[in-house]
Amino acid sequence: MAGKWGNSLLRLWLLIVFMPLGLGGCISFGPQYMQHDQLAYSRALGEVQKREMLLNIVRLRYGEPPAFLDTTQVIAGYNFSRSFSGGYYGYPASAISNYFFGSGTLSQAENPTITYQPLTGEQYAENIVRPISPVAIMPLSLGGMAIDTLLRLTAQSIDGLSNVRGVGPFGGGSVRFYLLLHDLRQLQLAGAMTVRITSGDDNGSTIGTSAGDTQNSDTPKTKKGSGRSGEHIYLVLTATADSNLQAIQGEVRRLLHLDASTAEAEIVYGPYPKRQGQIAILTRSMLAMLTQLSYEMEVPDQDVHSGRTLATIGQVGIENRPEVVIHSGRSAPSQNYVAILYKGRWYWIADTDFRSKEAFTMVQVLSTLAATSHSGGAVVTIPAG
């Protein structure tokens, strides 16, 4: 009788011990982790990219070269292991604690593999040093980006009208350059201006653009295989019955040396147009763009007096602030958009400064567009068992 009772207890014990093991085999952990980790890694990568960009702006201000580390791969691997053991002693004379025994272990580990690749050599020249094509820049205005901010960041000159430069007390910019940008922004907001992109046969068919697909023979980047070579982009002044908008369009034509009846004009790369009816934009490289932002940022007066850096350049014309306002201090506010520590001092962009955040985001988008050359990441073998 005792033997039957013992066997029943044994079955019950084995069922209790090994049931979790059987059920665990039916659980899938991948989808659960994916719901959390994909967003977490994306958020972390975005924060790192913001800090890297701000750090390079600060480094340029103090005479150091920018350095970019490209995250080529993020692989999250998970291990889950379990083991159970148990036994039974059939000796009625023994203490009840000796009838059954069991043990079990559970272990879980996350093994992320992240590979980085520094930008060097030809890749550095392609992505950082060479100017960005106007065909890559101008379509961003179609996505809602403010055209005045866009051109202030990327254009060194438009039809000979000069943007501010990172030299001298006022940067040498032209007031008419900013008047032109102001007018273009007013037309953009009212829907009285747009841009269109055409294929090489110039038949008027509009096509989309993407990173690396925006090169043509007149633009600064002509790397083989990096895009369609026959694309053209046009500034279009759309018809309007509003007399105020018509007057602004007329002022834009005057500043761009276009005929009074011009409805659209091709945008080309260069300091001056090659023929009548074109608009020449001399675009900046990412290096020039970041350098310009660095000379507009806030730095301690003692760093200027000691010769560690040059004085901050002033604004010209109707502009009264930099596109990206970067503050400095002994400590950064807890609520900031992005902040970095450089040689014992904090530099940050305020979270309440939407205009600076918008422009800084635009710089990051432009950096992605400028990356026409990418290095392949390391080959990583993932165990399947």
d(CA 219, CA 135): 8
Residue 382 lies in a domain: no
Residue 326 lies in a domain: yes
Residue 88 lies in a domain: yes
Residue 247 lies in a domain: yes
d(CA 226, CA 135): 13
Report the percent of the chain where pLDDT is more than 90. Answer: 44
pLDDT in tens, 12-46: 555 555 555 554 455 555 566 666 677 777 788 88
Q: What is the pTM of this model?
A: 0.74
Q: Give the chain's radius of gyration (CA, Å).
A: 31
Q: Are residues 226 and 142 part of one domain?
A: yes
Residue 353 lies in a domain: yes
Pairing of strands 232-237, 327-329: unpaired
Domain that holds residue 51: 2-67+69-118
Q: What is the DSSP string of 249-312?
A: HHHHHHHTT--TT--EEEEEESSS-SSTTEEEEEEPBHHHHHHHHHTTS---HHHHHTTSSPPP
The residue with greater pLDDT, 225 or 301, is: 301
Residue 381 lies in a domain: no
Q: Are residues 139 and 107 part of one domain?
A: no
Residue 385 pLDDT greater than 50, yes or no: no
Q: Are residues 132 and 20 part of one domain?
A: no
The per-residue pLDDT for 217 is 37
Residue 262 pLDDT greater than 80, yes or no: yes
Residue 190's Cβ-side half-sphere holds a number of Cα atoms within 13 Å equal to: 20
Residue 379 lies in a domain: no
pLDDT band at 173 (very low <50, low <70, confident <90, very high): confident
Residue 278 lies in a domain: yes
pLDDT in tens, 321-357: 888 999 999 999 988 999 999 999 999 999 999 999 9
pLDDT band at 231 (very low <50, low <70, confident <90, very high): confident
Query: Whats the size of the chain, residue-wise?
Result: 385
Q: Are residues 153 and 50 part of one domain?
A: no
Q: Are residues 327 and 196 part of one domain?
A: yes
